[in-house]
Structure 1
């Protein structure tokens, strides 16, 4: 898939280390790497990365997302989303581009956004080009 493997990975500005537990929302403009546990919403205008030991129990909004850990909540992404082989997403996903690697688990609804969509990701208007319900296997 063009664009996924050549995406520049942003420099990590915010890190939640393995073993760390944060209860509350995280908001930032820079890249965030979660290797610990966050109970709360996470919002960034850059990339969110959830490592294999990372868990987010809350909604996530980002420009792009790379998931190797767990998100239990909705994931709204303006650009590309990668669900890695050990990832688990339990919630609805809105994204422009999606790559699901073998072994990833996804339980929720997927809405593929039109590339020209710049409206709020919470808007369920006719700006989507495709909608798909995904059930657990």
Structure 2
């Protein structure tokens, strides 16, 4: 059985360090690690990682996402999403592949994208394999 993993390990090129506070949007083509707090939208054509101390209060768009921290906003991911054991996502999620580890918290709607779907995550007319509303117990 194939093991679920991120496409590749990207070199971190943008870092918001623990204790840092950014107010405003972040946009780039490179891999981003958030260990501080960002109030604003984050967009990358690579991987977004939210470290255990990381908080994003805004919408996130990325090629892949690995969460150990908190996102309060919608998360749109073209490829794979991993919600780690300490992560919290409060918002809607669009992704092609999803792994939710024990201990992760997710409150929102999940849309699983078809792998053949070409990616305009702003388009609500895209084909989906499944839709699921997830609410806390």
TM-score, normalised with respect to structure 1: 0.96
Deviation at 1:6, TM superposition (A): 6.2
User: Any residues of structure 2 matched to 1:1-137 within 5 Å, and which?
Assistant: 2=2, 4-5=4-5, 7-137=7-137
Q: Decide whether aligned partners of structure 1 residues 126 and 101 sit closer, same or farther in structure 2, where only a CA change above 3 A counts.
A: same
SS, match of residue 85 in structure 1: coil
Mind listing any 5+ residue stretches in structure 1 that lack a counterpart? Answer: none
Do 1:56 and 1:70's aligned partners in 2 also have CA atoms closer than 8 Å? yes
Q: Decide whether aligned partners of structure 1 residues 50 and 24 sit closer, same or farther in structure 2, where only a CA change above 3 A counts.
A: same
Do 2:87 and 2:105's aligned partners in 1 also have CA atoms closer than 8 Å? yes
Provide the aligned C-alpha RMSD in A: 1.3
Equivalent residues, number:
137
Q: Distance in 1 between matches of 2:126 and 2:92?
A: 17
Q: Distance in 2 between matches of 1:8 and 1:20?
A: 27
Q: Distance in 1 between matches of 2:81 and 2:51?
A: 14
TM-score, normalised with respect to structure 2: 0.96
Deviation at 1:89, TM superposition (A): 0.0
Deviation at 1:7, TM superposition (A): 3.3
Deviation at 1:3, TM superposition (A): 5.5
Mind listing any 5+ residue stretches in structure 2 that lack a counterpart? Answer: none
Do 2:81 and 2:98's aligned partners in 1 also have CA atoms closer than 8 Å? yes
Q: Distance in 2 between matches of 1:5 and 1:79?
A: 11
